[in-house]
Amino acid sequence: MTDKTIYINYNKEKRNLISKIKNFALNKKGIIFGGLVRDEIIATHYRKEFTNKHLNFEHYWNIEYDPDTIGRTLIPNDIDIYFKDGNIVNEFLDDIKEFIKLFNGFIEIKEFSNSRNFKAFQYVNPHLNLIHTKVFIEINIGKTISYAGIRLKLDIDIISNNMTLITDNYSFEKYTSYLEPPFYNLDFLSNIFVMDKSTGLTSIRASNCTGTPIDNMNIINKNKFINNVLTDIINFRTQFVRSVSSVYDCEFINCFRIIKMIDRGDYFSWNITNVPFSPFNSTELKDDNEYSCCICLENICDDNFQHLISINTNEKTKNILHKNCFVSYLKAEQQKKYRNSLNVIEIRCPFRNPFNFKDCYKKISYL
């Protein structure tokens, strides 16, 4: 008898786990939204590019193989799901429980309905009667007698209607017929899409509840705009559209969401084109000037453009930093929760100028 070696590809297995949970939700009339839909658009596009180039699928998950189609390996961090009928949530969770039993799985479920955490981060419009259920699962794959296996972890956010407030079929239809993610509270243009099986087949479409002028566009303008958004998505570009400014902590929340988009490694970091900072190409540096990062004070002239950030909070000066230094600074600045004279949280650049993320939506053209 000869030994047989089985190789486990973590990323491939993680994507298959996500696909399994996604299908459980779609088959229960759930609507997928957020990062999973965005990342699936990207991964599907670059998978097709990979296939059209007749490349070797044995190297599909090797990020150093054909960098031009590296988007094919993109895997979402979590899953966001909306169920119009809150009673179906338990059926969906039962499907997950049965599935993870096959892999010695673990599940933790927490409900944040009307909790302080739910409202503080304004996951959805606070005027809607919605319930937020947080699900954490782990499964074990590749376990043998002599090997413990590998643990796969996944976070699932479930938004559902509070069915205790809906007393009959008429009120259910009236309340839910117009409502879907992102519940009039869009954060990035790249998140305007939702995934469902309303036609019997899985489809991706633009949401009708973005809370932006997109919702009221005529079909011609809307299709043009959506095509532009799709082009941006596959090139990892987007715009920040969150316009909430009436609460004292909106900049804290804005910064949190922006950090999640730019702190995704050098391969999958996003260029948010309407915020007061942007990727900077080192070839634009003038040879006769010495540039140093204002955070670490090290020279940056030899750095690759993918690792540099330009801050333009001061129109008279272009300030260039290492990207890693900038992300670390932004995380620390967010946690400081600095308050101005009006007791409103501000996120300031290294030169103490406010970023004013809350005003970025004003720069977007919907024409």
Helix, strand or coil for residue 152? strand
Residue 304's pLDDT is 52
Cβ atoms of 32 and 19 within 8 Å: the answer is no
pLDDT tens by residue, 295-338: 988 887 655 545 889 998 876 666 888 999 999 999 999 999 99
What pLDDT does 117 receive? 47
Give the pLDDT mean for 254-269: 91
pLDDT at residue 144, as a whole number: 84
Residue-wise pLDDT for 204-227, tens only, equals 999 999 999 999 999 999 999 999
Residue 130 half-sphere exposure, CB side, CA atoms within 13 Å? 25
Helix, strand, coil shares, percent, the chain, to 5: 40, 20, 40
pLDDT at 62 over 90: yes
Q: Residue range 168-195: average pLDDT?
A: 87
Indicate the pLDDT class of residue 287, thresholds 50, 70 and 90: low
Strands 193-196 and 203-206: antiparallel
Residue 288 in this model has a pLDDT that exceeds 60: no
Characterise 156 by phi-psi region: left (phi > 0), alpha (psi -120 to 50), beta (else): beta
- What average pLDDT score do residues 230-259 get? 93
DSSP annotation string for 61-104: T-TTS-GGGGGGG---SEEEEEESSGGGHHHHHHHHHHHHHTTT
Give percent of the chain above pLDDT 70.
90
Per-residue pLDDT, 315: 65
- DSSP notation for 223-288: HHHHHHHHHHHHTTEE-B-----SSTTHHHHHHHHHHHHH-SHHHH--EETTSSEEE--GGGS-TT
Q: Tell me which of 338 and 293 has the higher pLDDT.
A: 338
Q: Which residue type does 271 have?
A: N
Model confidence at 172, pLDDT cuts 50, 70, 90, reads confident
Query: In b/e form, how buried is each residue of 187-201, taking b as 16+ CB within 10 angstroms?
Result: bbbbbbbbbbbeeee
Two structure tokens written together for 85: 């009928």
Measured CA to CA, the distance from residue 330 to residue 314 in angstroms comes to: 17
Partners of 83 in the beta sheet? Answer: 160
Q: Tell me, what's the pLDDT at 129?
A: 78
Other CB atoms within 10 Å distance of the CB of residue 4: 5
pLDDT of residue 8: 87
Q: What is the pLDDT of residue 289?
A: 61
Could you tell me which of 150, 15, 153 has the C-alpha nearest to residue 72?
A: 15
CA count, 13 A, side-chain hemisphere, 126: 12
Q: What is the C-alpha separation between 325 and 308, in angstroms, rounded?
A: 9
Reported as a single tens digit per residue, the pLDDT across 9-57 is 999 999 999 999 999 999 999 999 999 999 999 999 999 999 999 999 9
Whose tokens are 């087949």? That residue is 201
In whole angstroms, give the CA distance from residue 139 to residue 14: 10
The whole-number pLDDT of residue 116 equals 47
Instruction: Please give the span between the terminal C-alpha atoms of the chain, in angstroms, as a whole number.
Output: 69
Q: What pLDDT shows up at residue 239?
A: 98
- Tell me, what's the pLDDT at 2? 66
Give pLDDT tens digits for 113-170.
654 444 444 555 555 778 899 999 999 998 888 888 899 999 999 999 887 767 777 7
Q: pLDDT band at 267, cuts 50/70/90?
A: confident
Q: Region 348-353: what's the mean pLDDT?
A: 92
What sign does the dihedral 198-193-91-96 (CA atoms) show?
Answer: positive
**Per-residue confidence (pLDDT) for residue 118, from 0 to 100:** 47
Average pLDDT, the chain: 89
Pull the structure tokens for residue 296: 């670490």
